[in-house]
Structure 1
Amino acid sequence: MALADIRRVRAPLGVLEIRVFLVQWDLVISHFPPMSFLTPQWLHLLWLGLIPVALYLFRRKAKRVRVSTLLFFRSLAREHQESAWLRRLKRLLSLLLTLLVILMAVLALGRPYREAGGEVPRSLVVMLDRSASMAAVDGEGMSRLEVAKGLLRERLKALPDNVITSLVVYDGKVEVAQSRSTNRRELLRLVNEVRVVPVEDKVDGALAVAKRLGALDAPSQIWHVSDRAAEGAVGDEDSKYRFVDVALKQGEAVNVGITAFQIRPAPMARNRYEAFVEVAASGSNAGLVQVTLETRLDGRPVQLRELEMAPGSSSRLVLPLDGGRGQRLEMEAKAKGDVLAWDNLVMSPLPEVRPLVVAWLAKEPDPFTELALSSLLAEERIQVLKGGEKDWPLKDKPDLYVFENWVPETWPTDRPALVLNPPTASGPVLARRLDLAVPHEAVRAVQPEHPLLFRVVNARVAVTQTTVLNVAETLETLWMAGNEPVLVAGEANGQRLVITAFQPSKSEQLALLPAFPLLVGNAIYWCVEGSGDAMGLRAKHTGGMAEVKPGEVKWQWWDGNEFGETMVEAKSGWLALDRVGLFEDGGGVMGSSLLLSARESEVPVAVAKESVIVEDGEKERWAVGGSWWAVLLWGVLGMLLLESWLFHREAVY
Structure 2
Amino acid sequence: MNFANPLAFAAFAIAAAVIALYILKVRRRPQVVPYLQLWTSLVAETRARSLFQRLRRLLSLLLQLLILAGLVFALSRPGLDLANLKEESLVVMLDVSASMNCLESNRSGQEADEKSEEANQTTEGELKQSRFDLMMAAAKKLIDGRSFEDEMMLVAISDRVEVLTPFVRNNLQLRQALQTATPTFRACRPDQALAFAEEVTRGKEHPIFLVISDGDSGRWQEVLDEDPRARFITVGHETENLGILRFSSRKNRSLGSDHILAKVQNFGNRPQAFQMELALNGVTQKVLDRELPPGESLTERFQLHLPDGGTLRLRLNTPDGFAADNEAYAIVYPERLRRIVLVTPNSPEAEPFKIAFSSMAELLDERSAVFTIQEYEALEAPDRVADVTLCLNALPKALPQQGNLILMNTPLPEELPATEADDIGKPEIWDWDREHIVNRYMNYKDLPIPRAKGIRLEASPPRAQALVESYDGPLLAAFEEDMRKILYLAFDPTARFFPFRLAFPILLRNAIAWFEAEEDLMLEASHAPGASIRPLGKVRAQEVMVRYFRDGQAQEELLPVRDGQFVFSQTETPGAYLFQIDGRDHATSVNLFHTRESDLRPPTGQEQQESDFRFLQAGFFHREPWIYFAAFALLLWVLEWLLFHRRITE
Q: TM-score range by the shorter chain?
A: 0.5 to 0.7
Q: Give the deviation of 1:290 after TM superposition.
A: 2.8
Offset of 1:159 from its aligned partner? Answer: 0.7
Which residue number corresponds to residue 280 of structure 1? 264
Separation (CA, whole Å) in 1 of partners of 2:600 and 2:34: 88
SS of structure 2 residue aligned to 1:320: strand
1:628 deviates by: 4.2
The aligned residue for residue 224 of structure 1 is: 211
- Which residue identity is paired with 2:101? A
Contact kept in structure 2, 1:261 and 1:596, CA below 8 Å: no
How far has the Cα of 1:178 moved from its partner?
Answer: 0.8
Point out where structure 2 has 5 or more consecutive residues left out of the alignment: 107-126, 369-385, 418-426, 449-484, 486-492, 535-540, 562-566
Spell out, residue by residue over 1:536-576, the C-alpha distance to the aligned partner (whole angstroms, 9 max, x if none): 9964332123469869865324x7xxxx1143655657541
Question: Corresponding residue for 1:244?
Answer: 233
Secondary structure (helix, strand or coil) at the match of 2:446 reads: strand
CA deviations over 1:512-542 (Å, ceiling 9, x no partner)? xxx998998799669856x684579964332
2:269–2:295: 8 Å Cα contact kept in structure 1?
Answer: no
Q: Is the 8 A contact 1:259 1:279 kept in 2?
A: yes
Counterparts of 1:225 and 1:113 in 2: how far apart (Å)?
Answer: 30
- Deviation of the 1:130 alpha carbon: 1.0
Aligned to 2:598: 602
Is contact 2:339–2:365 with CA below 8 Å preserved after alignment? Answer: no
Match of residue 345 from structure 1: 327
**Aligned residue in 2 for 1:208:** 195
Give me the whole-angstrom Cα distance separating, in 2, the residues matched to 1:241 and 1:528: 52
Matched, 1:555 2:548: yes
Q: Which residue of 1 aligns with 2:124?
A: none
Q: Which residue of structure 2 aligns with residue 128 of structure 1?
A: 94
Q: Is 1:258 matched up with 2:258?
A: no
Match of 1:565 among 539, 553, 568: 553
CA distance in 1, matches of 2:636, 2:340: 90
> Are 1:87 and 2:74 an aligned pair?
no
Q: 1:537 to 1:39 in 2, by over 3 A?
A: closer
In structure 1, what is the Cα distance between the partners aligned to 2:205 and 2:360? 68
**3-state SS of paired residue (2:240):** coil
Counterpart selection for 2:277 from 294, 299, 302: 294
Match of 1:149 in 2: 136
Equivalent position of 1:466 in the other structure:
446
Asked if structure 1 preserves the Cα contact closer than 8 Å seen for 2:429 and 2:444, the reply is no
- Residues 391-410 of structure 1: pairs in structure 2 closer than 5 A: 396=401, 398=403
Aligned partner of residue 175 in structure 1, secondary structure: strand
Is the alpha carbon distance of 1:549 and 1:298 closer, same or farther for their aligned partners in structure 2, counting shifts above 3 Å?
A: farther
Aligned to 2:469: none
How many angstroms does 1:70 deviate by?
A: 10
Residue 217 of structure 2 corresponds to residue 233 of structure 1: no
Residue 147 of structure 1: how far off its partner (Å): 1.6
Could you tell me how far 1:389 is from its partner in structure 2?
8.1
The aligned residue for residue 65 of structure 1 is: 29
| CA deviation string 1:341-383 (max 9, x = no partner) | 1122123564355446789999x99767544444532699995
Equivalent-residue separation in structure 1 for 2:431 and 2:340 (angstroms): 20
Q: How far did residue 397 of structure 1 move?
A: 6.4
From the superposition, tell whether residues 133 and 532 of structure 1 become closer, same or farther in structure 2 (CA, over 3 Å). farther
The alpha-carbon distance between structure 1 residues 241 and 463, as it changes in their structure 2 partners (threshold 3 A), is: same
Q: Residue in 2 aligned with 1:100?
A: 66
- 1:526-605 paired onto structure 2 within 5 Å: 528=516, 533-534=520-521, 539-546=526-533, 554-557=547-550, 564-567=552-555, 574-575=567-568, 576-584=570-578, 589=585, 591-605=587-601
Number of residue-to-residue matches in the alignment: 531
Please name the residue that 1:267 is paired with.
253
Cα gap change, 1:315 to 1:330, in 2 (>3 Å): same
Contact 1:113–1:160 (CA under 8 A) maintained in structure 2:
no
- Could you tell me whether the CA contact under 8 Å between 1:348 and 1:591 is conserved in 2? no
Offset, 1:171? 2.3
CA apart distance, 1:339: 3.1
Q: 1:374 to 1:396 in 2, by over 3 A?
A: farther
2:148–2:169 CA contact under 8 A, matched in 1: yes
Q: 1:630 aligns to what? A: 627
- Aligned-pair distance for 1:294? 0.5
**Secondary structure of the corresponding residue to residue 83 of structure 1:** helix
Partners of 1:132 and 1:397 in 2: CA distance: 45
Shift of 1:195: 2.0
CA contact (8 A) 1:38 1:162 kept: no
Q: How far has the Cα of 1:217 moved from its partner?
A: 4.1
Query: Separation in 2 of the partners of 1:316 and 1:532?
Result: 31
1:163 aligns with 2:150: yes
Supply the distance in 1 between the matched residues of 2:82 and 2:614 (Cα, whole angstroms). 12
Q: Is 1:138–2:125 an aligned residue pair?
A: no
1:51 aligned residue (16, 33, 41): 16
- Matched residue SS, 2:623: coil
CA distance in 2, matches of 1:638, 1:296: 69
For the aligned residues, what is the CA RMSD? 5.4
Tell me the SS of whatever aligns to 1:545.
Answer: coil
Whole-angstrom CA distance in 1 between matches of 2:243 and 2:506: 32
Aligned residue identity for 2:594: A
Distance 1:427 1:389, change over 3 A: farther
CA distance in 1, matches of 2:221, 2:357: 54
Match of 1:39 in 2: 4
Q: What SS is found at the alignment partner of 1:138? A: strand
Q: CA deviation at 1:182?
A: 2.0
Alpha carbons of structure 1 residues 550 and 565: separation in structure 2 relative to 1, 3 Å = farther
Distance in 2 between the 1:52 and 1:235 partners?
62
Which residue type is aligned with residue 338 of structure 1?
D
Q: Mean Cα displacement is larger for which, 548-557 or 298-307?
A: 548-557
Q: 1:617 to 1:295 in 2, by over 3 A?
A: closer
SS at match of 1:339: coil
After TM superposition, list the pairs within 5 Å mapping 1:312-461 onto structure 2: 312-323=295-306, 325=308, 327-334=310-317, 336-348=318-330, 350-352=332-334, 354-355=336-337, 369-377=356-364, 383-387=387-391, 396=401, 398=403, 424=429, 428=433
Please tell me the residue identity of whatever aligns with 2:635: G
Shift of 1:391: 5.8
Change (3 A) 1:129 1:119: farther
Q: Which amino acid aligns with 1:276?
A: I
Between the aligned partners of 2:614 and 2:522, the Cα distance in structure 1 is: 63
Q: TM-score if structure 2 supplies the norm length?
A: 0.65
In 2, Cα distance between equivalents of 1:119 and 1:519: 78
Residue identity (%): 20
- Give the aligned residue type for 2:263: V
Cα offset for 1:590? Answer: 6.0
> Residues 34-71 of structure 1: CA distance to partner in whole angstroms, max 9, x if unpaired?
xx5562635634744752674378x1344232245699
1:90 aligns to what SS in structure 2? helix
With over 3 angstroms needed to count, the CA separation of the structure-2 counterparts of 1:124 and 1:294, relative to structure 1, is same
Contact 1:325 1:351 in 2 (8 A): yes
Rounded Cα–Cα distance in structure 2 between residues aligned with 1:70 and 1:213:
90
Residues 103 and 322, structure 2, Cα contact 8 Å, conserved in 1: yes
Give, as a single letter, the amino acid of the residue that structure 2 aligns with 1:202.
R
Task: Give CA-to-partner distance per residue, 1:474-502, whole Å, 9 cap, x none.
Answer: xxxxxxxxxxxxxxxxxxxxxx9xxxxxx
Code of the residue aligned with 1:245 in structure 2: it is: T
Distance change in 2, residues 1:107/1:60 (3 Å): closer
Whether the 8 Å CA contact 2:90–2:209 is kept in 1: the answer is: yes
Q: Is the 8 A contact 2:73 2:626 kept in 1?
A: yes
Taking the aligned partners of 1:596 and 1:171, their CA distance within structure 2 comes to 13
Alpha carbons 1:128, 1:169 under 8 Å: kept? yes
Tell me, what secondary structure is at the counterpart of 2:159? coil
The 1:62/1:263 distance shift into structure 2, 3 A limit, reads same
Distance 2:319 2:506 in 1: 42
SS at 1:233's partner residue? helix
